[in-house]
Amino acid sequence: MMGTEVVDAEIALTVNGAERRIPTGWTLADILASLGLDPRVVVIEHNGIILRDRAAFASLPLAEDDTLEIVHFVGGG
């Protein structure tokens, strides 16, 4: 394949500790939508950095080998 431009249709990233494959070009908003998650009730850590700007994070592009932690509030004492 030397010299041939190959664009992978998918990339692999780690979401909550498990590998997931998503279409190339997806944003954070796309993956949240595909997981059925309401962006208003989750908090995202992207490659170790907490995303504090909710308005901006939807358009965040995702890349191969990215790590996402998607957390939310649950019952606790």
Partner 1 sequence: MASDLAVLPSLATLTDPQPFVIAGREFRSRLMVGTGKYASNAQMIEAIDASGAEIVTVAVRRVDLDRSKADAILHYLDTDHFFLLANTAGCYTASEAVRYARLARAAGFNEWVKLEVIGDQQTLLPDTVGLLQATKTLVDEGFKVMAYTNDDLITALKLEDEGAVAVMPLASPIGSGLGMLNPYAIRTIKQRLSVPVIVDAGVGTASDACIVMEQGVDGILMNTGIAAAQDPVRMAAAMKSAVEAGRHAYLAGRMARREVAVPSSPTAGMIGS
21 scored as a contact of partner 1 (CB under 8 A): no
CB 42 within 8 Å of CB 28: no
User: Nearest approach, Cβ of 72 to partner 1 (angstroms)?
Assistant: 4
Distance between CA 50 and CA 9 in Å, rounded?
28
Given candidates 42, 46, 58, 60, which one binds partner 1 under the rule CB under 8 A? 42
7 scored as a contact of partner 1 (CB under 8 A): no
Report the residue number, 3 or 75, with the smaller CB distance to partner 1: 75
CB 67 within 8 Å of CB 35: no
